[in-house]
Amino acid sequence: MNPPSLHVLDYLIIGASLVLSVGVGVRFAKSQSTTSKYFAAGRNVPVWAIGLSIFATLISSLTFLAYPGDGFAGNWVRLVQGLMVPIVVLLGIGFIVPMYRKVIGLSAYEYFERRFGYLARLYASLAFVLAQFAGMGSVFFLLALAVSSMTGIGVVTVVVVLGLVVTVLTLLGGMEAVIWLDVIQGLLLILGGLVTLLVIAVKIDGGLAQVFTVAAAENKVSLGSFDWNLVELTFWVMAINGVFYAVQKYGTDQTMVQRYLTARSDKEAIRASIGGVLMVVPVWVLFMFIGTALYAFYQGSQATASLPDGLRADAVFPHFILNEMPVGVIGLIIAALLAAAISSLDSDLNCLAAVAVDDYYKKLRPRSTELQRVRVGKIVVTLSGLGSIVVALIYVAAGDAGVLATVFALYAIFSGGIAGMFLLGIFVPRVNKEGLYVGIGVCVLFTAAALLTSTEFSLGGEPRIWLDLGPLNYTQHNYMLGVYSHIVLFGVAWAASYFFPARDVDRNLTYAGWKDRKRDEA
């Protein structure tokens, strides 16, 4: 069935949002002459703008689509991961931010080189690159499916147009354009979510009270089972996963660390980080609740509408937007969906370029000029943008499965343990680079074995796992695999370090050194 045609007003709103995005890039293009300006916005961004940028970066179009889909199809168990983030951030951000601002120039992975040597920096930065390309491709792909279903525009066209818009605005305006565009897009995203909830409430007999009644009666806002079970998707699986996600995201992810460097001072960077994470959790809750409200609207005991047979849960929200929203509001919601994608993708491109320049180009050309480094950064932005379009088009050709599974499997093998490496660096001075390299090797082998003994394939017959080791097969929930990789690297590297000579460690790189400085300042 072909989707209904949008009103010309909706198309004008969508087009205007894309033109605005490119316009912001053009606005800041002339001032991007140094790496500090292009990658760190001159370290002069107001705290409120950084906070909104962090918020917008964390809220991608996957949140816009996946959270309502989860809230509609099941309960709120996947929200638990996000609920762990503020706890970790509030405990650690006061140390993490000033440490990075003191010991690195641009790349978060410079920390790992100073603590453990260049191979550690290479491992962490390559993991980041793999994660970003896998993530950007999936964002483009899933967003294109949703927008295509609502507008009738071809999936390939959506991927190419959006990819070019993101690439051009990032190429021209650098991190300064990224941050200020994030401010606009973050506010648009919040507005889109609130308008959606208001429309659903008006259309449901009994309004939001009816949504709460249905949710309570059918246990739709449950945070999952509290049984200690790491095989099923329980509260504890998501809580443990959320803790390590927060450590890796706020402690080692370039998209976050680069934001810390844009602030005028340590205190402003800390305030921005806390503000960003405190904003993002209510929005995660909002979009999960939208899914619950959609369930009440379509399938609750007093449902007022029905869905086409076989409609996937993550397609329910786009279906509602297209069929229940008034003219103009449809364009606003689709613009907010595009904004969610752009606000994460533009950051990804700029941060990939920062890593390429700081971790690789400067190593190869240590005497290169600022102008040369900025030029290389812009080349990397362009190539990364085009590369992410290609990855998304491969997803389109392969469909929902296959390529996604392969890319994420490779990323899991070669990026496991980054949070464990970070925790070792700051909390365990006795760990040395030799021990860490042993830990990385064991971690990669463990992750590969776990994937091979738990991933099924089929060649026309019964599904089989790639490597059957009987009782040694990995059988727990796949969300726990990332957790175990951090723990394996942490434990093995710590133990292996005792087989090699102890070395002095720069205390600026450790939590103990930070405590000493705080005591001296007091």
Q: What is the pLDDT of residue 400?
A: 52
**Dist. CA 290–CA 449, nearest whole Å:** 39
The residue written with tokens 């995203």 in the block is: 189
Give the residue ranges of DSSP H helices in 117-234. Answer: 118-151, 155-203, 207-217
**Dist. CA 48–CA 509, nearest whole Å:** 28
Of 453, 508, 491, 501, nearest in space to 475 by CA: 453
Amino acid identity, residue 162? L
Q: What is the pLDDT of residue 412?
A: 53
pLDDT digits 0-9 by tens, 228-251: 888 888 899 889 988 988 888 888
Find the mean pLDDT for residues 192-218. Answer: 85
Residue 445 burial (CB count, 10 A): 12
DSSP class of 464: E
Is 62 within 8 Å of 82 (Cβ atoms)? no
**Dist. CA 200–CA 492, nearest whole Å:** 52
Does the pLDDT at position 399 exceed 80? no
Does the pLDDT at position 272 exceed 50? yes
Tokens of 96: 């993490």
Q: What is the pLDDT of residue 1?
A: 46
Provide the pLDDT confidence category of residue 333 given band limits of 50, 70 and 90. Answer: confident
DSSP class of 501: -
Provide the pLDDT confidence category of residue 404 given band limits of 50, 70 and 90. Answer: very low
Packed helices 266-298 and 79-103: angle between N→C axes, nearest 10 degrees: 160
**Dist. CA 23–CA 27, nearest whole Å:** 6
Q: Is 364 exposed, middle or buried (0-12, 13-18, 19+ CB in 10 A)?
A: exposed
Provide the pLDDT confidence category of residue 496 given band limits of 50, 70 and 90. Answer: very high
Does the pLDDT at position 415 exceed 80? no
Of 9, 1, 59, 70, nearest in space to 309 by CA: 1
Which DSSP string corresponds to 117-134?
A: -HHHHHHHHHHHHHHHHH
410 or 455, which is more confident: 455
Provide the pLDDT confidence category of residue 112 given band limits of 50, 70 and 90. Answer: very high
CA distances from 443 to 95, 173, 492, 518 (A): 27, 39, 8, 35
**Dist. CA 311–CA 319, nearest whole Å:** 9
pLDDT digits 0-9 by tens, 10-58: 889 888 888 888 888 888 888 778 888 888 887 888 999 998 888 888 8
The residue written with tokens 């932005």 in the block is: 381
Q: Nearest 5 degrees, angle CA 59-CA 97-CA 271? A: 65
Is 411 within 8 Å of 124 (Cβ atoms)? no
Provide the pLDDT confidence category of residue 401 given band limits of 50, 70 and 90. Answer: very low
Q: What is the pLDDT of residue 433?
A: 93
Q: What is the pLDDT of residue 376?
A: 92
Query: Where exactly are the structural domains of the chain?
Result: 8-399, 416-522
**Dist. CA 297–CA 317, nearest whole Å:** 11
Q: What is the pLDDT of residue 32?
A: 77
Percent of the chain with pLDDT over 90: 17
Report the chain's mean pLDDT, rounded to a whole number: 84
448 or 135, which is more confident: 448
Provide the pLDDT confidence category of residue 300 given band limits of 50, 70 and 90. Answer: low
Provide the pLDDT confidence category of residue 467 given band limits of 50, 70 and 90. Answer: confident
Q: Which residues contact 498 (CB under 8 A, 6 or more apart)?
A: 430, 435
Q: Which fold has domain 8-399?
A: Sodium/glucose cotransporter (1.20.1730)
**Dist. CA 10–CA 331, nearest whole Å:** 4
Does the pLDDT at position 402 exceed 50? no
Which DSSP string corresponds to 296-334?
A: HHHTSTT------TT--GGGHHHHHHHHHSPTTHHHHHH
**Dist. CA 366–CA 364, nearest whole Å:** 6
